Amino acid sequence: MPEDKDIEMHIEKLRKQNEAAAIELVFSQLTVGITSCRIARTRRYNLGLDDTLAVRQAEKALAVAEKFVWKFKLKHPEFDQMIALAERLRFELEALRNDSNSD
C-alpha cells in the first residue's frame, strides 16, 4: 500500500499535468479565435459570404480565454503570451465589428 507521501506526490503530479493541458487548451482556443477572424475577413471581403459563424467562434474563444486566464498559475512569459494573444484576438474582433457597422 502506498504511503501518504507517495499519494500526495502523485496527486500533485496529476494536478500539474491537468493544469498544463488546460493552459494549452486556452492557447489553442486563442489561436482558433484569431484564425476564425481571418476566415471571417476572407469570407466577408474576398468571397462575399456570411461570416457570422466564424465571428461567433472567435467570440467564444475570447470568452474562454478571459474566463480562465486568471485561474492558472502561469509563469511570467506564458502569462504575457496569453494576454498578448487575447489582446490580438480582441483587436481582430473589434476591427470586424467596426467594419460591419460601417457598411
- Looking at residue 6, its pLDDT comes to 80
Phi/psi at 55 (5° precision) = -65, -40
What nine digits make up the cell of 2? 502506498
Q: What is the pLDDT of residue 103?
A: 57
The C-alpha cell of 40 is what? 471571417
Higher-pLDDT residue of 88 and 102 is 88
The CA-based angle 74-75-78, given to 5 degrees, is 80
**89 pLDDT higher than 90:** yes
Which grid coordinates belong to 102?
Answer: 460601417
Rounded Cα distance, 21 and 71, in Å: 13
**How much is the pTM?**
0.78
pLDDT of residue 1: 47
Lowest mean pLDDT among 7-21, 24-38, 75-89: 7-21
- Span 15-73, pLDDT tens digits: 788 888 888 988 999 999 999 999 999 998 888 888 899 999 999 999 988 888 888 87
